[in-house]
Structure 1
Amino acid sequence: MNNFWDNINKFPRFLISIILGFFLTTFRQIFRLFKNKKISIIIVITTYILLSILYKIIENMLGIQ
C-alpha cells in the first residue's frame, strides 16, 4: 500500500512536467517565427484579431454590454 501512495505523490510532479514540456515545445516554434520581422507582425495582428473575435463572441453569448 505504501508503494501506491508513493506513486500518487509523484503524479502532480509528472503532470506539471508534461504541461510544461508541451508549452515549451509549442512556444519554441512560435519564438523562432518571431525572428523574422514580417512574419512576427502578421502573427501579432492575427492573434489580436482572433482574440477580439473571441471576446466579442463570448460577450454576446453572455449578454454583457
Structure 2
Amino acid sequence: MSNFWVNLYKFPRFLTNVFIGFFLTTFQPIFKLLKNRKDRFLFTIIITIIIALLYRIIQIMTDNT
C-alpha cells in the first residue's frame, strides 16, 4: 500500500513533464521556422489571417455583427 502513495506523490511531477514535453515537441518546428526572416514574415501573416478568421467566425456565430 505504501507503493501506491509513493506513486501518487510522483504523479504531479510526471504530469508536468508530459505537458512540457508535449509543448516542446509541438513548437520545436515552429521555432526552427522563425529563425529565417522570410519564413518568419510568412508565418506571421498566416497566423494573423487565422486569428482574424476565427475572430470573425465566432463573431458571426454569436450574432455580434
TM tier relative to shorter chain: 0.7 to 0.9
Q: How many residues align?
A: 65
TM-score (norm: length of structure 2): 0.81
CA-CA distance at 1:64 after TM superposition = 3.8
Question: How do residues 1-65 of structure 1 correspond to structure 2 at under 5 angstroms?
Answer: 1-64=1-64
- What runs of 5+ residues in structure 2 fail to find an aligned partner? none
Over aligned residues, Cα RMSD in angstroms?
1.5
Instruction: State the Cα deviation string for residues 3-43 of structure 1 (Å, max 9, x = none).
Output: 11211221111111011011112222111111111111110
- Alpha-carbon distance in structure 2 between the residues aligned to 1:37 and 1:30: 13
